[in-house]
């Protein structure tokens, strides 16, 4: 698509108010950001050379959404629904997002987890249209020039993956870009980042997936993964190019392996405006559920003992964010770490083991905790008993690992234990909510990673809150953009967690629910954005918003107005023929 077919006219808040179109005739229908389909008015059809190219009747957006909803709901399988929505997006961006907005709770599971996993696995065989950018060793030297071709799109958020750590399915090569596409659609839904400000990027450094390497249909770079210095050099070249072309854009690292996720996040903390959602987003949304539990129990966070079962990127990310919150609550860093235990496939993580560097922060010295000197106490059940765990979090991917014995041990440590089996998909969840309620006689406070139907116990129906990162990352993105934050601080995610928790209603808390409902995503993202933006001001990393001429000057009311006005809504915009 040439650069002079269309453009955007922004208002003082950096939001798009008009679309400038330099093309005419059938070409207009082929520009997904411009196309209105049957919703083009008669005047627009005349101006744009679309007379006779469409049926005479003008059908408005609301009518189009109703028709599209009937079509997508008529599809038999989830992957067919995914294909329909993605195809709709490729031809009419506004209609696709208006459709998703109309049924966000249902369709989020189609455009993202769990259906997007199938799309990742079938990426090459079901390929229809290119979206985003694919960097590989054959073009990484041209990364800066390639990125500059997108500069007319005014990129504000990029989701970037190396495709290795796709949740539950691992190394998926070039197909991982489908995750980026889904995440960016949620940035639009939650934070109102217009689709033309979003860029999905695959860093294709090869794959060690034998099935892909031997698949004639595979579209990715057909080589084994780069490792060591070659890998780091590749990432470095991309990061340098991205910073040079989009110095004010947010870069979200996505689905890197646990071996690389922490190293890359930490390497570019100050060179890029970046964060890793698998680490920090997971940590923040989990912390939000814990904070809600503290409000229900009327207890203090700093008085709890935490155990994270599963010491991968997500699990250590949860431990990190709890640690940040405990320090903000007044504990020293060492006091905070002493209250957080991590457990992997070999048991409680201790300093005397040969472990990955990222696990060291929460590894326990057996001399400081004598009960750890007995190997029998390293198991999950014994660790819960010996440490007096009151908050148990599962990120292990080991279905059923929160056994009845483990849950009952938690009940002995707290009248209302917090138990959060977060692993996805449902088959990998550490315990079913129904069982946790049964084993604790309804006393446990539960949140899950997968969506679950409400559970009835003793005549009371309990909505099961889902710890979904979507409550965090869109708002974090908007807050960073609106505040002009020069870097993404760990405290942003504590602020985000408090904002998410504040959105849980009193009625939900009365039933023990720890998370807001998904249909409130837009409202939640707005509160998260404001909390993050003001955190940026508080920590001295804010600057005038480069995307807007309206200046917030660090004032909360003006910041709130800026963030509100920056958000794009899925509505057809006026088109100006040029």
Active site residues: 112, 183
Contacts of 405 (CB under 8 A, 6+ apart): 381
Is residue 442 within 8 A of residue 449, CB to CB? The reply is no
Phi, psi at residue 247, to the nearest 5°?
A: -65, -20
CA 449, CA 286: separation in Å to the nearest integer? 9
Q: CA angle 247-472-188, nearest 5°?
A: 65
CA 264, CA 259: separation in Å to the nearest integer? 9
CA 377, CA 380: separation in Å to the nearest integer? 8
CA 154, CA 408: separation in Å to the nearest integer? 54
CA 154, CA 151: separation in Å to the nearest integer? 5
Order of strands across the sheet with 133-135? 133-135, 198-203, 157-161, 250-254, 273-276
Taking the CA atoms of residue 210, residue 214, residue 216 and residue 222 in that order, the dihedral angle to the nearest 10 degrees is 70
Contacts of 264 (CB under 8 A, 6+ apart): 235, 253, 256, 276
Place of tokens 């503290």: 294
β-pair type (347-348, 391-394): unpaired
Which tokens go with 571? 């509505």
DSSP letter at 280 equals: I
DSSP letter at 114 equals: T
Greatest Cα pair distance in the chain: 82
| Torsion region of 436: left, alpha or beta (phi above 0 gives left; psi -120 to 50 gives alpha) | alpha
Distances (CA, A) of 552 to 124, 354, 436, 555: 46, 50, 47, 6
CB atoms within 10 A of CB 136: 17
Is residue 418 within 8 A of residue 293, CB to CB? The reply is yes
Radius of gyration from C-alpha coordinates of the chain: 24
CB atoms within 10 A of CB 128: 9
Phi, psi at residue 394, to the nearest 5°?
A: -110, 120
């Amino acid at each position: 698509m040439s650069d002079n077919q269309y453009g955007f006219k922004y208002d003082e808040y950096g939001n798009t108010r008009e679309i400038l179109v330099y093309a005419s005739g059938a070409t207009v229908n082929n520009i997904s950001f411009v196309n209105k389909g049957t919703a083009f008015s008669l005047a627009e059809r005349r101006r744009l050379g679309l007379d006779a190219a469409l049926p005479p009747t003008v059908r408005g957006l609301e009518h189009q959404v109703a028709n599209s909803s009937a079509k997508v709901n008529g599809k038999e399988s989830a992957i067919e629904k995914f294909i329909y929505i993605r195809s709709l997006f490729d031809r009419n961006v506004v209609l696709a997002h208006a459709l998703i907005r109309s049924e966000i709770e249902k369709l989020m599971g189609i455009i993202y987890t769990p259906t997007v996993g199938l799309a990742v696995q079938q990426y090459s065989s079901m390929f229809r249209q290119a979206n985003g950018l694919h960097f590989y060793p054959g073009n990484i030297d041209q990364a800066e020039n390639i990125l500059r071709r997108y500069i007319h799109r005014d990129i504000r958020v990029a989701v970037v993956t190396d495709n290795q750590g796709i949740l539950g399915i691992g190394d998926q090569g070039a197909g991982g870009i489908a995750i980026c596409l889904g995440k960016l659609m949620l940035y639009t839904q939650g934070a109102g980042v217009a689709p033309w400000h979003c860029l999905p990027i695959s860093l294709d450094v090869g794959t060690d997936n034998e099935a892909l390497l031997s698949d004639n249909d595979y579209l990715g770079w057909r080589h084994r993964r780069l490792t060591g210095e070659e890998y780091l050099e590749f990432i470095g070249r991309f990061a340098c190019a991205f910073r040079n072309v989009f110095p004010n854009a947010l870069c979200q690292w996505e689905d890197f392996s646990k071996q690389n996720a922490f190293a890359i996040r930490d390497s570019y903390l100050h060179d890029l405006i970046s964060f890793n959602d698998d680490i920090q987003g997971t940590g923040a949304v989990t912390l939000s559920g814990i904070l809600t539990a503290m409000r229900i129990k009327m207890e203090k966070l700093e008085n709890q003992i935490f155990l994270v079962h599963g010491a991968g990127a997500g699990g250590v990310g949860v431990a990190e964010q709890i640690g940040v919150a405990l320090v903000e609550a007044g504990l020293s860093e060492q006091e905070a770490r002493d209250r957080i235990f991590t457990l992997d496939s070999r048991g409680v993580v201790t300093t005397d083991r040969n472990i990955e560097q990222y696990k060291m922060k929460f590894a326990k010295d057996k001399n400081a905790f004598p009960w750890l000197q007995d190997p029998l106490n390293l198991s999950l059940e014994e660790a819960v008993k010996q440490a007096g765990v009151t908050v148990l979090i599962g990120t292990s991917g080991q279905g059923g690992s929160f056994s009845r014995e483990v849950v009952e041990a938690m009940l002995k440590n707290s009248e209302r234990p917090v138990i959060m089996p977060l692993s996805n998909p449902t088959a990998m969840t550490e315990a079913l909510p129904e069982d946790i309620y049964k084993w604790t006689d309804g006393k446990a406070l539960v949140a899950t990673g997968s969506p679950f139907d409400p559970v009835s116990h003793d005549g009371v129906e309990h909505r099961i809150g889902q710890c979904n990162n979507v409550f965090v990352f869109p708002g974090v993105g908007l807050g960073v953009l609106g505040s002009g934050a020069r870097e993404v601080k760990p405290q942003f995610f504590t602020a985000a967690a408090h904002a998410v928790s504040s959105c849980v209603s009193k009625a939900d808390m009365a039933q023990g629910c720890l998370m807001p409902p998904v249909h409130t995503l837009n409202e939640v993202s707005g509160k998260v954005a404001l909390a993050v933006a003001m955190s940026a001001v508080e920590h001295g990393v804010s600057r005038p918003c480069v995307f807007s001429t309206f200046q917030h000057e660090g004032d909360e009311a003006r910041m709130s107005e800026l963030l509100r006005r920056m958000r794009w809504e899925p509505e057809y915009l006026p088109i100006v023929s040029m």
